[in-house]
Amino acid sequence: MNLTIENILLIGSTLLFLSILAGKTSYRFGVPTLVLFLMVGMISGSDGLGIHFDNPEIAQFIGIVSLNFILFSGGLDTNWKSIKPVLAKGIALSTVGVLLTATSVGLFVCYVTDFSILEGLLLGAIVSSTDAAAVFSILRSKSLALKYRLRSVLELESGSNDPMAYVLTIAFLGLVINPNQGFLSIVTLFLQQMILGAALGLLLGWLSKQAINKINLGFEGLYPVLVIALMFITFSLTDFVGGNGFLAVYLCAVYLGQQELVHKNSILKMFDGLAWLMQIVLFLTLGLLVNPTEIIPLLGLGISLSLFLIFVSRPLGVFLTLLPFKMKNRSRWYVSWVGLRGAVPIVFATYPLIAGIDKANMIFNLVFFISLSSVLLQGTTLSVVAKWLKVALPEKLKPRTPIDYIMNESPKTEMSEIVISEENEIVGKKILEIGFPKNAIIAMLRREGEYITPKGTTEILAWDQLLILSENKETLQKVHEVLGVKLIEEELDEE
């Protein structure tokens, strides 16, 4: 069946519906939802139900758009306080760790196949990064609570190592096409991509904050649309000047996630849903692109590469990279085990296809098999291995992310009514500008006898009466400090 304008919506929506049902069903069997999305795509393809899709350019475009949403959503949901203590470990794993993995896999490929050293390193670069979509979705869907800040390390690594893998993929692909370029070009490309990507990501993050908070759109539903536009501007502008767009998008989102934004709850909810949609679309598309009959002859080699990557290359890269850091061995082993490969390597494998190099089809099919086996083997055993290595925490001690606070708001047990005097420094400021604690809310605002439902853009005026709800007395104390109002002893001691 050929995809046409007339049937693409019917086919697309049907596949989307089947993927969601498959994802829900998969929880009973412990199979990651991402595998089910891939399977639906493969079953629906030319070797299955007959949907013919053989366009790596479109698949790559869908992949890039999807990765923007996945990385941006992951960045928004990243708590800076939780990743700050593990920043050095995360950066080391996303750079040195990726390079070591790419190199060891590349050398192994050369040893067991007729690949040249550059072709082997290209394949190694493509599968060198852990996949943000797989790590974010599996860790969060399984609600894994981990000791030693391991979850922060894993999410930071998966969100920030795609740029390094991308740079290595583009660099080695260039060397395969033109071996006379020399390895110095890799260093130059790496520095340019990383420095520009990081600088523009943070700069455009700050500019995005100003745009979100200062532009009065009038409709709450338009703010997530504005953020989508800013996300794509960040990616495309950074890419245009030679920086790494993926790194810029992730850092922009991490910065925005820590700021007070107009209608932030709506933005977070929207991007959480869009990230899931993009994961489904991405895995469906990649499933349609692959032909199972082409993978079967490569099963032996694919299994060898998968086992080497999971049990040799990934642990070697993790242990060598984390040598300078004080860390328990069981933590290093768990970081090694959560080296999930997913959609990102498959998207990167479309670059050789589009470039038309000799072994492009073989590389794509091997990468697809490696990614599928990684999610199947590692993704289904994350909880078991965490308990086995004794790095799992009880569910009640699970760290909360911004989206957790929105989707599962805990009850507010402390209440206070505050009157803002005309001498107060916050008079004339918007609520989002005063640094209000996240685990407290202004439930109601009374102004000149009328009750107003406050928003982030609501301006505080003299003699406003604020009804405050907070989770505990400590938070209530912080609220009074932020509002510049002394908390009287009777109120603090009130039961």
pLDDT, averaged across the chain = 82
CA distance 411 to 4: 51
pLDDT at 494 over 50: no
Beta bridge partners of 56: none
Beta bridge partners of 416: 468
**3-class DSSP assignment, residue 451:** strand
Which is higher by pLDDT, 486 or 485?
Answer: 485
Query: In one letter, which amino acid is 120?
Result: G
pLDDT at 403 over 70: no
* Lowest-confidence pick of 13-17, 288-292, 360-364: 13-17
What is the mean pLDDT of the segment spanning 56-80? 88
79 is written with which tokens? 């708590």
Burial of 40 (0-12, 13-18, 19+ CB in 10 A): buried
485 is written with which tokens? 């109002």
Taking CA 261 as the corner, what is the angle to CA 256 and CA 262, rounded to the nearest 5 degrees? 145
**3-class DSSP assignment, residue 25:** helix
pLDDT value of residue 140: 61
Name the CATH superfamily for 412-493.
Regulator of K+ conductance, C-terminal domain (3.30.70.1450)
Report the percentage of the chain scoring pLDDT > 70.
84
Residue 92: band (very low, low, confident or very high) from pLDDT cuts 50, 70, 90? very high
Under a CB-based contact definition with an 8 Å cutoff, are residues 140 and 324 in contact?
no
What is the mean pLDDT of the segment spanning 171-185? 84
CA distance 434 to 426: 7
CA distance 169 to 184: 15
pLDDT tens per residue across span 295-351: 888 899 999 999 999 999 999 999 999 999 988 899 999 999 988 887 788 889 999
Taking CA 71 as the corner, what is the angle to CA 266 and CA 295, rounded to the nearest 5 degrees? 130
pLDDT value of residue 454: 81
Domain 8-402 and domain 412-493 have a common topology = no
Beta bridge partners of 441: 469
pLDDT tens per residue across span 98-157: 999 999 999 999 999 999 999 999 999 999 988 766 676 666 655 566 777 888 888 888
Domain boundaries, the chain: 8-402, 412-493
How many C-beta atoms surround the C-beta of residue 191 within 10 A?
A: 11
Residue 34: band (very low, low, confident or very high) from pLDDT cuts 50, 70, 90? low
Q: DSSP letter string over 76-119?
A: HT--HHHHGGGHHHHHHIIIIIHHHHHHHHHHHHHHHSS--HHH
**3-class DSSP assignment, residue 146:** strand
pLDDT at 96 over 90: yes
pLDDT value of residue 215: 87
Q: Which CATH number fits domain 8-402: 1.20.120.160, 3.40.50.150, 1.10.1040.10, 1.20.1530.20?
A: 1.20.1530.20
Which is higher by pLDDT, 172 or 40?
Answer: 172
pLDDT value of residue 237: 97
Q: What is the pTM of this model?
A: 0.77
Residue 229 makes CB contacts below 8 A (sequence gap 6+) with: none
pLDDT tens per residue across span 198-234: 999 999 999 999 999 888 887 888 999 999 999 999 9
